[in-house]
Amino acid sequence: MSNWQQLVQAVEPLQDLELDADLVRDLEQPGQQPGHQSGHQVPERVAHPVHFYTPTFKSYQTSEIKSCGKNAWPAVSVTGSECKLQCDHCKAAILEPMIPARTPEALWRVVNELIDDGAQGLLLTGGSNHRNEVEYAPYYETIRRIKDSHPEFRIAAHAALMDENAAFAMADAGVDVAMMDVIGAQETITNVYHLRRSVDDFEATLENLVRTSMRVVPHIVIGLHYGRMLGEWRALEIIQRHLPDAVVLVVVMPFYAPEKKPFVTPDSSDVGRFFQSARQALPDTSLLLGCARPPGESRMQIDTYAVMAGLDGIAHPADGAVELAARLGRKVRVTPACCSIVVGDEVMAVQDASDGLELDIDTILREEARRRAGVRGIGIPVVSASGPRTGIPA
């Protein structure tokens, strides 16, 4: 048994977790992964502090956190719930709970209401046309007006596919963060997205975005091809060529997939090996594990591998992940992003790494012991993308 496997056994929530022993050894003694050489070694773990974004402080939360009732990062769709693509993993259902703003006038009204209600920013998105383009052009004048009137209000937009002119128009309008999914397999584009575009179109969009003044945070959806790994490594190579501000990795959660085209749950070991490849390929780029990933034991395995692989941030970590990171010698910071955060974790991924509360292993274990004994522990300040807000002392 490797030293890291022994450390996992010391973390109570992870004691019975089944892990891939070969993968754990590879992560503990990093080298080149066969078949996907990148030319980089994984940096020392102490050089990569890990930042946990969590609404509750998980196992060591012992006092209620104020101001958790409002969403600081709401999602607004310029098409309401409509999308032409009807991708197999989504079927446009992800748009349904979002706030509709189907005209520029509606967007102005919605944003001002959100600001009055305490929002710090928003995710701007919408359904795609048949070319996987979100038709934002009619909204850019209003976005510019919003940014001129409320310069501290952050806007992150899902870019979909766009040419150079559209990318610069989005930046000129004042969008702060541009996000897109990078897909590396033509079969996935054709079969899952029902799209007549190419992998080169996705790379061209990323290239266009990184040339603007916007912060660019592409996503790789692991297992997007019906739960199988297909184009992820090519997507990683594309990102490697253009070096955005941060990268968000998520694992497919096809809640809305049709019965005729079922998705399987991606193998956690395969996900962990991809984390290893991503860290090797992007040693100096912030890597964040986003909120979307399968529940239960798979989530615990995935989060364990993410900590071991040296990812920089994990949103909503599974129980035991924070303690494991500390036991592995990683510097641990925690942001209780309770008002969360459709897009807040992506925006935070490119913030100053000093945001949040730094915890050591002694503090984590002490607070865990207090929690089990039913004793209130330390007061935890609520920290958002704009800095500390409020907290309740013990």
Domain edges within the chain: 72-332
CA distance 144 to 129: 24
Q: Can you point out the beta strands (E) in the chain?
A: 50-53, 75-77, 99-100, 121-125, 154-158, 177-181, 215-222, 246-251, 286-289, 313-315, 332-335, 357-359, 381-384, 387-391
Closest CA to 262 of 299, 228, 219: 228
Contacts of 55 (CB under 8 A, 6+ apart): 68, 316, 336, 337, 338, 340
Question: 134 — phi, psi (to 5°)?
Answer: -90, 125
Residue type at position 135: E
pLDDT (mean) for 287-304? 93
Q: What is the structure's pLDDT at 325?
A: 93
CA 382, chain centre distance (Å): 20
- Residue 48 is encoded by which pair of tokens? 């990569």
- Assess contact for 211 and 242: CB atoms under 8 A: no
Pairing state of beta strands 215-222 and 246-251?
Answer: parallel
Q: What is the structure's pLDDT at 34?
A: 38
Q: What is the structure's pLDDT at 360?
A: 81
pLDDT in tens, 360-378: 888 877 776 776 666 554 4
Residue type at position 253: M
pLDDT in tens, 200-258: 999 999 999 999 999 999 999 999 999 999 999 999 999 999 999 999 999 998 666 66
Q: What is the structure's pLDDT at 43?
A: 43
Pairing state of beta strands 381-384 and 387-391?
Answer: antiparallel
CA distance 74 to 117: 11
- Assess contact for 49 and 353: CB atoms under 8 A: yes
Closest CA to 376 of 54, 65, 51: 65
150 CB-side CA count, 13 A = 20
- Assess contact for 289 and 279: CB atoms under 8 A: no
CA distance 332 to 326: 6
CA distance 85 to 317: 32
Q: What is the structure's pLDDT at 44?
A: 54
Residue corresponding to tokens 């013990």:
394
Pairing state of beta strands 332-335 and 357-359?
Answer: antiparallel
Residue 152 has a CB neighbour count (10 Å cut-off) of 9
The 10 Å CB-count burial string (b at 16+, else e) for 253-291 is: bbeebeeeeebebbbbbbbbbbbbbbbbbbbebbbbbbb
Contacts of 96 (CB under 8 A, 6+ apart): 81
CA distance 277 to 177: 25
pLDDT in tens, 119-147: 888 889 999 999 999 999 999 999 999 99
pLDDT in tens, 55-104: 544 433 333 333 444 567 788 999 998 888 878 877 677 788 889 999 99
Q: What is the structure's pLDDT at 119?
A: 86
Domain 72-332 fold is: TIM Barrel (3.20.20)
Most confident among 81-85, 162-166, 292-296 (mean pLDDT): 162-166
Residue type at position 118: G
SS3 state of residue 209 = helix
Q: What is the structure's pLDDT at 345?
A: 55
Q: How confident is the model at residue 42 (pLDDT cuts 50, 70, 90)?
A: very low
DSSP assigned state of 228 = B
The 10 Å CB-count burial string (b at 16+, else e) for 49-61 is: bbbbbbbebbbbb
Q: What is the structure's pLDDT at 296?
A: 92
- Assess contact for 287 and 249: CB atoms under 8 A: yes
- Residue 38 reports pLDDT greater than 60: no
Question: 255 — phi, psi (to 5°)?
Answer: -65, -25
SS3 state of residue 270 = helix
Print the SS3 string covering 102-113: CCHHHHHHHHHH
Q: What is the structure's pLDDT at 371?
A: 63
Question: 234 — phi, psi (to 5°)?
Answer: -65, -40
225 DSSP β-pair partners: 228
Q: What is the structure's pLDDT at 333?
A: 85
- Residue 348 is encoded by which pair of tokens? 């935070």
